[in-house]
Structure 1
């Protein structure tokens, strides 16, 4: 019975739709379950951000073939899209293809994945038993395999430096912004003329800091403070002029210049311990120092949520939350975006046969994920599900040595893409 069921793809973002494209080419039945009301719902949330990965890194090969057959005009490979353009010019047309559209379900949030009639303890007949997926509507669906491309956008890390919320963090939630707010656009009124604290040392923090510095030049009374746990911001500045991707290098150079000029106040070695609402704002303390601000941007990264698959047998690395086989290949203590080696189905498999997490969720807490890497994951996993193990294990990936991520720094009137956490 299981062989006649569809493969369930969770999430209609870039990697989920890439999996759908490969499933289409392989002639395998599938259904894509997307919690949002359109494809690329998470990407649309940061649509104002410009990628510094050009289009050639942002388009899956199978998706390009299907779109090309339908008359789609491929964007200039060397052009740098915004998140909104990625969604509108590539992902929406892909989702609307007649070969894919009937298999996409929007507003279909999966709340649990298990085996039909079996909990995690039961072993007999497990591999032959269909997966059961429960939606928040109460509907149950059966599938022969599950490709989980739900990402991590909905589960940001907390402000507290110890991995748990800081004291008082829940009480000041009204003052906290999630990563990548549209500072110069739709969210401008919440930042203009206010004291802003950005917490985090990744590229999403850098992106927001540069936008806030520009806003401060335009709006009197806007002040920008940047808090990082590290003793130095060198890792955020990156390779600068030595970066193989000039746009990302420009991001670090411009951020350094703003810090050195005093436009951005940098607090190093600052681990958020306590947040307290006060009459004139929020007091943020690391136990020894305090800063009072009006708004806080939590650019602290994201973590995977494995709650919906709690009844499946997962072999997760205790540090990163990826598979154990993948963890040493993506460890951010050892790798940057471009130094992660190619990997596929063998590194993504769990003791639960037929379940694979791909895309940014597969990386757990490692911030080194790339779209191009996710596309190769999708190709490899689908080839394995089709029984083509030679193709599944022929994993190849050619990336710039320094990686491909995203941001939106501006020099004069020219928008230069950068990185807002690695291309998720």
Structure 2
């Protein structure tokens, strides 16, 4: 493209560009469409929600009632969409097939999404991070992996964290030799009983991590071991006490968590899962017979495959020339960090928040969804929808709506799940945050009110604490 003198740019030009066509990115698109703002959605994969496609076999924690954005619902209803049973728990595949795929076919969105459009850099036309004068009037410059460039008046970054898993190394950096065994490392939430069955059947697998992704994989492996002799399982955790992962069993105030933890605890006690605790991986090497050896001091674990269920972290490389105010610990905005700190909050105590808390020094750039939470493990899908609504209102200049942050939450929370492998798929059966109560509306001007419940958590994004912490929804 031709060079432009930023001093002559009277105002940002171009559409609002949403990066990522997952649930939260498409929620932003739906709100942009309702407000009549010009926009374009860039998706790095070949289809809608390409990341979710990789875990389509996994059930969400919450029923459909909490998994559908309000603006998206309105667009779908105008197109004759048949709403799913709101009490049922969708899988990732259900979320795509019954919600997101129909959404991108609505007239308002169908021509606004570009696939196979991976973004490699976002900056300002004529401006690096250092230059200030006239910066706010310069449009954003977005470069794609194929070399294409386009301009934007604002950027909503909904790229998530799925493509950036944490490392196996116990000190936050890769273990020595970790890069040499990548072909033996499986991403979190493999389809153990389906697509990936041959990789694990009759082999020894080490699952690293202590969140619900790890628990789910361990239980699937336990079921596989019942079917295929010689299937061995070792669970590698950094902590010495797994009480938080197991939960309180029958006395747990969070029934599904208790049921899930109880089943996992029994699996460990039966000897079908070998628990290796207080193990901070320092090195990973290839053995003479082609297996992997993980070491921590004088101790070691040997396996055919290692499942990395240690969580995820945000990738800020593509926006490194923008002016970001990132908290040094969380990797979120500095204003949001104390509201989501897992040392202080579970998913049920994170206050509602919106454009004010998500703003950076770079005007009109917002990260929403899982990426907005950095490394905090408390992100919930419904919270991402409210972020999208608030941010779009701010971009439209409607600051009253942007600051009227609201979440439709049950009093004691709802993230009901059959991940405990029970037979019921009924919301009334209860969930990890208690039985299914009547919903109430919680409103908080400027996003400061404290929510008493939670809603809509995605399994793949809410257990990403690198310290292997566990909470109501991680």
Fold-level match, TM-score > 0.5? yes
The residue that corresponds to 1:131 in the other structure is 140
Which residue of structure 1 lines up, in the alignment, with residue 415 of structure 2?
404
- Equivalence for 1:387: 397
Q: Please state if 1:183 is matched with 2:192.
A: yes
Query: Matches of 2:247 and 2:152 in 1, distance apart?
Result: 44
Question: Is it true that 1:56 corresponds to 2:96 in the alignment?
Answer: no
Match of 1:201 among 210, 225, 231: 210
Aligned to 1:71: 80
Would the alpha carbon gap of residues 305 and 402 (structure 1) be closer, same or farther in structure 2, given more than 3 Å must change? same
CA contact (8 A) 1:56 1:77 kept: yes
Q: How does 1:16-415 map to 2 (within 5 A)?
A: 16-241=25-250, 246-280=255-289, 281-399=291-409, 401=412, 404=415, 408-411=419-422
Could you tell me how far 1:2 is from its partner in structure 2?
Answer: 3.9
Once the two structures are overlaid, the 10-residue window that deviates more, 391-400 or 176-185, is 391-400
Give the C-alpha shift of residue 396 in structure 1: 1.3
* Match of residue 452 from structure 2: none
Deviations 1:177-215 (A, max 9, x none): 111100000100010011111000111111101100111
Distance in 2, Cα, partners of 1:176 & 1:148: 28
TM-score, length of structure 1 as denominator length: 0.95
After superposition, the C-alpha distances for 1:143-186 in whole angstroms (9 at most, x for unaligned) are: 11000000111111110011111111111112111111000001
Displacement after TM superposition at 1:240 (Å): 4.2
Stretches of 4+ moved more than 6 A in 1? 412-418
- SS of the residue aligned with 1:225? strand
The residue matched to 1:356 in structure 2 has which SS?
Answer: strand
Separation of aligned partners in 1, 2:303 and 2:384: 38
Give, in angstroms, the shift of residue 4 of structure 1.
5.2
Q: CA RMSD in A?
A: 2.0
Q: TM-score, normalised by structure 2?
A: 0.86
Contact 1:14 1:91 in 2 (8 A): yes
**More moved, 238-247 vs 184-193:** 238-247
Aligned length: 424
- Cα deviation, residue 245, structure 1: 5.6
Residues 388 and 405 from structure 1, CA distance in 2 versus in 1: closer, same or farther, beyond 3 angstroms? farther
Specify which structure has the higher proportion of helix: 1
